[in-house]
Chain A
Amino acid sequence: KNEVEQSPQNLTAQEGEFITINCSYSVGISALHWLQQHPGGGIVSLFMLSSGKKKHGRLIATINIQEKHSSLHITASHPRDSAVYICAVTNYGGSQGNLIFGKGTKLSVKP
């Protein structure tokens, strides 16, 4: 079993829909990261959080430390949101900050 699991693996939505991507992890963490990867490979960090909730524009990330679960929400989705969204964690007490990644959720938003 992977230390970081994401669901769903693939997600297709219509423009304007509210989207939720889930992430569960099995290790103690210092921080959880949500990353966005576009075709061609470049990765952009969206959020780094260790508790509660963060919001940036139409993106919202939440984390429940007790349940070892995080969600990424996209409100009013748009075709430009189409990308792979990756959840990653920094293992508490482990290496100095290297990330453990989920396999990613491929999101496709149709116009």
Chain B
Amino acid sequence: DTGVSQDPRHKITKRGQNVTFRCDPISEHNRLYWYRQTLGQGPEFLTYFQNEAQLEKSRLLSDRFSAERPKGSFSTLEIQRTEQGDSAMYLCASSASLAGGPYNEQFFGPGTRLTVL
């Protein structure tokens, strides 16, 4: 399968624990996005990488959240000291940039569903 993959698919944790999610984008895609989706809502932008550079972070991304893409390939999203409000689906997407314009189709992974007890 050459699509976007995410691991794990489901994570249940206790409040206060740290969790880390991984996203593997489509191999030739240089852009990688993280989104969060709570029940009944549309996804919300968290952060975005072009290659290994993290170019933008949403105000939703508190200090407890950190994302990396060390070699410009896979990315990790870590949440420290989880809170019940962090319970959500965390979605990763990737896209390829086109010469002369950045606005390209995004391909989504299956998501990681986080439940904080």
Residue ranges of A at the interface with B (Cβ–Cβ < 8 Å): 4, 30-31, 33, 35, 40-45, 48, 86, 88, 90, 95-104
B107 touches A40 (CB 8 A): no
Which one, A33, A42, A88, A101, contacts B110 given CB within 8 A? A42
Number of interface residues, chain B, beta carbon within 8 A: 31
B42 touches A97 (CB 8 A): no
Q: Which residues does chain A contribute within 8 Å of B103, judged by CB atoms?
A: 30-31, 90, 97
B28 within 8 A of A: no
Cα A97 to Cα B89 in complex, Å, equals: 21
Asked whether A43 and B42 contact (CB < 8 A) given A95-B56, A97-B103, A98-B33, the answer is no
Per DSSP, chain A at the interface is: strand
Residue ranges of B at the interface with A (Cβ–Cβ < 8 Å): 31, 33, 35, 37, 40-45, 48, 50, 55-56, 89, 91, 93, 95, 97, 101-111, 113
Asked whether A96 and B41 contact (CB < 8 A) given A30-B103, A45-B106, the answer is no
A98 touches B45 (CB 8 A): yes
Cα A99 to Cα B46 in complex, Å, equals: 10
Cα A4 to Cα B41 in complex, Å, equals: 12
Q: Which residues does chain A contribute within 8 Å of B89, judged by CB atoms?
A: 41
A88 touches B42 (CB 8 A): yes
What number of A-B contacts does a CB cutoff of 8 Å give?
74
Task: Please give me the residue from chain B that is nearest to A86 by CB atom.
Answer: B42
Q: Mind listing 17 A-B residue pairs with CB under 8 Å?
A: A41-B89, A42-B109, A43-B43, A43-B93, A43-B111, A45-B105, A95-B48, A95-B55, A95-B56, A96-B50, A97-B31, A97-B103, A98-B56, A99-B43, A101-B35, A103-B42, A104-B42
A97 touches B102 (CB 8 A): yes
Cα A86 to Cα B104 in complex, Å, equals: 17
Nearest CB in chain B: distance from A99 CB, A: 7
Q: Which residues does chain A contribute within 8 Å of B44, judged by CB atoms?
A: 101
Which one, B35, B107, B111, B113, contacts A45 given CB within 8 A? B107
A45 touches B42 (CB 8 A): no
Cα A50 to Cα B33 in complex, Å, equals: 21
